[in-house]
Amino acid sequence: MFQFDTLSILFLLLILLGVVPNLVYTFGYLPHIHRKRYFLINYFGFILSMIGVVLTNHILLFLFFWELMSLTSWQLILTEHSKESLKAGKFYFFMTHFGFVFILLFFLITSSDELLGTFDSLKLYAQDFKYPTLLFFLITIGFLSKAGVVPLHVWLPYAHPAAPSPVSALMSGVMLKVAIYAFLRFLFILPHWQLEWGIIILFLGAISSLVGVLYALSEHDIKALLANHSVENIGIILIALGLGMIFKTLHLETLSAFAFIAGVYHSFNHMSFKSLLFMSAGSVLHQTYTKNMEKYGALIKSMPVTAFLFLLAAISISALPPTNGFLSEWMIFQSMLSSSGISDISLKLSFGFTIFALALTGGLAIACFAKAFGITFLGLARSQNAKHATEVNLAMTIGQLLMGIVVVGLMAFFPMIIHAINRALPVTDIYHKIFPNHFVMHAPIANNGAVAPLILLAALIAITLLILSVYKLIKPQIKIHHTWACGYDTDASTQYSATGFAGPIRRFFTWLYDPDIHAHKVTLFGHKTKFSSALYEVHVKPLFERSLYENTTKLLNFITYYVYKISHFEKGRYSALIFNLLIFILFSMRVFYHQVTWGSVLLEVVIVSIFASIILWGGRK
């Protein structure tokens, strides 16, 4: 019933790297939680369920652990029992069970023994299934809805801000990767991969990365900002997996292996830096009692350890060298650039769009975390809570430091990590080809590039020390001047805000954001330029929630309203309706079994329905 193959062990390692620092952090976080017993039961149940998902080899057990993972995380979102958490819980409960329906359908179709078999028997049955594309769509919707792919991502910006911070770190850092594991596990079971599958995953990844980073830029809720970046990074992972699938169908085994390794390596990296970001954000939240970045500022002075660790994770998620985030994204870029020999014009256009999307995502991510770090930790304190904040307790600090060690370790020991991933995945062994030595990683195609992060790190440290030494020798004279603010007094209210920082990008993407702007000011003595108070608010409307989910809800309400009206017909009319539907179904079967035309069937149905309706309606009282 359980398996310990290389893929399971690899993702078990990912879970443990995310859970151990989180346990230490949670121990220090517990005083902030009111219902401690309720929280701890669901917290440990959540961890055990994720381990169960990656280790089980039995269909029914997999479904049990998957559902347990969903229910325990749902209960953890409801820990605070606030209006915000209740709304988030509703979103999450619906979306996670929406995906579960497709997962269940996949197992019902491919299981020949009523869900009581193992994955090995499922693989044998899937090999003979006539419609593998149907199975691909079922696992894509079922598992990637849990991972947070666009447009099934709408629960993330609600769930992560509402959950306690250690839970947000586990859900974003670990649970989303468990969904990636499940997608990979059953993707490699499917036979006869088609080129279109990889293109679909590639486009889902490109759109997810762009949408995630654009909505993150517009946020001033620090946890909602990080939640949208989870959508972005899941998109980056899917870009790599889509490339691997495309190269696999084209029999480019070396490129396929390189892309798949890059996707799984980025899963590890995202687990590390996103967990650290949520931990640091949780530390700031519970020292300032707000998630609004407009109320932060100057926290680097009172919370230096948290500020340093947040900066480390921000540099990594922005894919700046020589961090682990840079390494995995470099591999993904190299996978696309190494495909220049492919002559198919549709694939060239797809790769061109994906390179553009990934490059734009990287630039916007740097801008977003410049905003997040600068507004939160630099400048002047924007509130009394920020002014009087102190560093968090020892357990929370140690938890963040341990996760920081994981972030650095994934960069320092990247050859070992990539070797382990290569062995775990059912792909060609390319480790010795891309690592002619242990310090430099080469692209899979000759003369395409190489990277040596440890050498680069040593060079950066040496340059920094040289600059500091020169600075001490020269000892330049320091002059202090007051800040000029157009005649106004300078204070916390005159410095850059999170809303103002994202203003130019928000105006450029107005068609996507459709912002709702409220501006109000009170002028002094009728002057147009002098005012005593001013208010400027910008509320961004989520595109998919507004255009897709709200319209779908309206359509379902419209349908259910008329179903309700039909179900309250008088007995004669209701019986006539059911009778006509049955006749239509029975007659339509003749199209498939007796090869008659739809025209003749519709004519027969109309004639019989008229007589049936006359008889049934004529007999009513």
Q: What is the pLDDT of residues 380-404, one digit of tens each?
A: 888 888 888 889 999 999 999 999 9
CA atoms within 13 A on the CB side of 87: 9
Residue that wins the pLDDT comparison between 493 and 235: 235
pLDDT of residue 182: 92
- What string of DSSP letters covers 398-413? HHHHHHHHHHHHHHHT
Between 97-111, 521-535, 544-558, the lowest mean confidence (pLDDT) is in 521-535
Dist CA 212 CA 214 (whole Å) = 6
Mark out the alpha helices in 30-58 (DSSP H runs): 36-55
Q: What is the mean pLDDT of residues 451-474?
A: 87
Dist CA 169 CA 153 (whole Å) = 17
Q: With contact defined as beta carbons under 8 Å apart, do 391 and 260 qualify?
A: no
Give residue 446's pLDDT band: very low, low, confident or very high (50, 70, 90): low
**Is 621 a residue whose pLDDT tops 50?**
no
Mark out the alpha helices in 78-191 (DSSP H runs): 83-110, 119-127, 132-147, 156-162, 165-170, 176-187
AA identity, residue 337: L
Question: Of the candidates 391, 267, 366, 269, which has an alpha carbon nearest to the alpha carbon of residue 311?
Answer: 366
Q: With contact defined as beta carbons under 8 Å apart, do 265 and 217 qualify?
A: no
Between 112-126, 330-344, 417-431, the lowest mean confidence (pLDDT) is in 112-126
Give residue 477's pLDDT band: very low, low, confident or very high (50, 70, 90): confident
Report how far apart the first and last C-alpha atoms of the chain are (Å, whole number).
62
Mean pLDDT of the chain: 84
Burial of 209 from C-beta contacts in 10 A (0-12 / 13-18 / 19+): buried
Matching residue, tokens 């559902």:
67
Chain segment 332-375, per-residue pLDDT in tens: 988 888 877 777 787 888 888 888 899 999 989 998 899 999 88
The percentage of residues in the chain with a pLDDT greater than 90, rounded to a whole number, is: 33
Q: What is the mean pLDDT of residues 66-93?
A: 87
Question: Of the candidates 376, 171, 367, which has an alpha carbon nearest to the alpha carbon of residue 290?
Answer: 376
**Is 75 a residue whose pLDDT tops 50?**
yes
Q: With contact defined as beta carbons under 8 Å apart, do 258 and 335 qualify?
A: yes
Q: With contact defined as beta carbons under 8 Å apart, do 426 and 123 qualify?
A: no
Between 177-186, 391-400, 534-543, the lowest mean confidence (pLDDT) is in 534-543
Dist CA 533 CA 501 (whole Å) = 21
Residue that wins the pLDDT comparison between 224 and 129: 224
DSSP element (H, E) containing 552:
helix 550-567
pLDDT of residue 279: 94
Residue that wins the pLDDT comparison between 535 and 221: 221
Q: What is the mean pLDDT of residues 320-332?
A: 90
pLDDT of residue 122: 78
Q: What is the mean pLDDT of residues 136-165?
A: 88
Give residue 14's pLDDT band: very low, low, confident or very high (50, 70, 90): very high
Domain segments of the chain: what residues? 1-188, 193-458, 499-543, 569-618
